[in-house]
Structure 1
Amino acid sequence: MINQDWVGLAAGTLTTISFVPQVVQIWRTKHADDISTSMFVIFMTGVALWLLYGIYLDALPVIIANAITLLLAATILILKFHFHRNKS
């Protein structure tokens, strides 16, 4: 792996794992009312496009980071709807 791939993997790892504390917080508190649905939908669309871009370029760091980030962001939205529905 060349040096720029390591930089990409480090950047992707840090930005991706930044979502883990939010997922854990929502799971523990069973509360996600303060999460903006529109922000996460826009963000997930952007991440999906980055994932597609990474696939086009065959750039493994971009593919891995964005696939996992998309999964974590989707988890946050799913939990938001799940706990909101159960609260109602």
Structure 2
Amino acid sequence: FEHSSGTSVRKRTHVSRKANMRIKSILHMAALVAIQSNKEITEFYDRKIKQGKAKMNVINAIRNKLIHRVFACVRDNRKYEYIYTNALA
């Protein structure tokens, strides 16, 4: 959330106090482990850092990637496959 009045932004953005901090911390740890152990995520992280992105912004993007992958597996009722081949292709 941002603190703003009209066109002026007064303070930095912050996370809502209603956020589930336990889930957020688990996602943060999962993102850090993914950066260390998953080649694809590591390459993404390094590429974004070289582009000048802030480290926390890149970690947030990785968290988002992990969430999307988990929900895709739940939606399709299947296990995660590192090398995915589309059944329609």
Instruction: Give the TM interval when normalised to the shorter protein.
Output: 0.3 to 0.5
Q: Which has the larger radius of gyration?
A: 2
Higher helix share: 1
Q: Which has the higher strand share?
A: 2
